[in-house]
Amino acid sequence: MKQSICLLGATGSIGDSTLDVIRQHPEKYSLFAVAANTNVDKMVHICRTFRPAVAVMGSAEARDELVRRCEGLNIEFEWGEEAMCAIASAAEVDQVMAAIMGFAGLMPTLSAIRAKKRILLANKESLVTAGKLFMDEIARFNVTLMPIDSEHNAIFQCLPQNENGFSKSHVSKLLLTASGGPFKDWSLADMREVTPAQACNHPNWSMGQKISVDSASLMNKGLELIEACWLFDMSPHDIDVVVHPQSIVHSMVSYKDGSVIAQMGVPDMKVPIAYGMSWPNRITTGVAQLNLMDVATLEFSKPDLERFPNLKLAADAWFIGGTAMAHLNAANEVAVDAFLNNRIGFLDISKINERVLNELPTLAVTNLERVFEGDRIARNLAETIVQSGKYL
Ligand SMILES: NC(=O)C1=CN([C@@H]2O[C@H](COP(=O)(O)OP(=O)(O)OC[C@H]3O[C@@H](n4cnc5c(N)ncnc54)[C@H](OP(=O)(O)O)[C@@H]3O)[C@@H](O)[C@H]2O)C=CC1
Ligand SMILES: CC(=O)[C@@H](O)[C@H](O)COP(=O)(O)O
Ligand SMILES: [Mn+2]
């Protein structure tokens, strides 16, 4: 039977790759619903090409423009978070691709979990901020959670699998690879002057702006460290971050008998997306086969926490626990946005993150309200710091 997909974040980079996989397998997948925030141009194109039953935009204005430009199409047009939660939990849907950028993705993803959909999780920020509650809901509703983030998808592929997902039998460590980003070998003095365009120029992956900046500051790896802890029930002590500039080894699992299993491939998100959609089977993606003779060299080294303090901040946030991870994520979302708008320098991002993490008291994540409150106060503090111009 065909699997029906709800695609949250349809106009983004993960959205593009997901639509490509669906397009390649019309006999296996259909697109029931799509959601995006402001990009009406791209949504018009998606609606005309894929004819989903429902399309949701972030605002009434964007929805109204979409309606005008899709005249004659038999599509229901909605707007707002409630409508995104509704499509993510709709009876017609089997799988939900959670690919909204940032904390905004949390509620629609939780809605999909509570409706027992297969979750294709790209939106790492929702798991980082609400980790315990998120994983408790996954267990409570007995939901299949497929990691889409390339490293976590790789780890999932390298773990022993069973009908429920994975086991950790005989696992010693997870080896989480990091490209090092565009400034891997840059001095702090040079990094001080970088532009948003330089920071978004990832050496190996074509991605949205926010995650590209995160990769450049190693905050992406920090978020991924926390993501791996929640997904695989590990601690940062059980996970080594390994800088691997070629992004060919997407991550590895080290076993107690001395074996290390790696998942490799050309860096293209269609691979983990297709794997998540088709698991426990595999489907074709059109991605080129890896030719190791062409790659020739695979390098591995330790991350430099002095030049890239965000990675350590993320581990700190994990050990502080509770709302600390929501605070760090919120500070980072504000700081990255300020950097992209030329309001602060690149190195100020980690300084703002550090201040917010250290200055806010944390609470245990006993309910969702605490996560939202932690997100709100951290955003306010980060914005105040940006406006003050005093980052440390
Ligand atoms: N790109 C990649 O290769 C990878 C991405 N990820 C994760 O996947 C997620 C998406 O990344 P990516 O596709 O690169 O990001 P993009 O910036 O390319 O796309 C973001 C998508 O989210 C939508 N969006 C943004 N804000 C809101 C909001 N408030 N409400 C509803 N929709 C919103 C955007 O809509 P609009 O265009 O209308 O603004 C767009 O569709 C992130 O969490 C990222 O960390 C993880 C691994 C790899
Ligand atoms: C494609 C993907 O999963 C990104 O999260 C990628 O990992 C970014 O690369 P680095 O953060 O390692 O630079
Ligand atoms: Mn990743």
What does the pLDDT average to over 135-145? Answer: 98
pLDDT per residue over 235-289, tens digit each? 999 999 999 999 999 999 999 999 999 999 999 999 999 999 999 999 999 999 9
Residue 137 annotated as part of some ligand binding site: no
pLDDT at 188: 98
Mutate to test the pocket of ligand 1, among 101, 155, 251 (most ligand atoms within 8 A of CB): 101
Task: Give CA–CA dist 97/10, Å, rounded.
Answer: 9
pLDDT at 16: 98
332 Cβ below 6 A of ligand 2: no
What is the number of H-type helices and E-type strands within the chain?
A: 17, 13
Residues with CB under 5 A from ligand 3 (ion): 149-151
DSSP state string for 283-330: ----PPPP-HHHH-----B---TTT-THHHHHHHHHHH-TTHHHHHHH
pLDDT band at 370 (very low <50, low <70, confident <90, very high): very high
CB 184 within 8 A of CB 243: yes
Average pLDDT, the chain: 98
Query: What is the residue with the minimal CA distance to atom 1 of ligand 2?
Result: 150
pLDDT at 77: 98
CB 305 within 8 A of CB 354: no
**Ligand 1 nearest-atom number relative to CA 126:** 43
Task: Give CA–CA dist 243/298, Å, rounded.
Answer: 11
CA 160 vs. chain centroid, Å, equals 24
Q: Cβ of 27: how many Cβ atoms within 10 Å? A: 6
Residue with tokens 């106009």: 11
Residue 343 clears pLDDT 90, i.e. is over it: yes
Length of the chain: 392
Residue 165 clears pLDDT 90, i.e. is over it: no
What does the pLDDT average to over 184-193? Answer: 97
**Ligand 1 nearest-atom number relative to CA 40:** 38
What does the pLDDT average to over 278-303? Answer: 98
108 Cβ below 6 A of ligand 1: no
Residue 208 annotated as part of some ligand binding site: yes
Task: Give CA–CA dist 349/335, Å, rounded.
Answer: 5
Residue 221 annotated as part of some ligand binding site: yes
Task: Give CA–CA dist 49/154, Å, rounded.
Answer: 31
Residue 367 clears pLDDT 90, i.e. is over it: yes
pLDDT at 162: 86
What does the pLDDT average to over 297-316? Answer: 98
Nearest 5°: phi and psi at 219?
Answer: -65, -35
CB 17 within 8 A of CB 270: yes
The H-or-E segment that residue 135 falls in is helix 124-140
Q: Report the predicted TM-score, pTM, of the whole model to 2 decimal places.
A: 0.98
pLDDT at 392: 79
Residues 6+ apart with CB under 8 A from 131: 226, 229, 230, 325, 365
Q: Compute the chain's Rg from CA coordinates.
A: 20
Task: Give CA–CA dist 10/66, Å, rounded.
Answer: 14
Nearest Cα residue to 331 out of 348, 301, 352, 310: 352
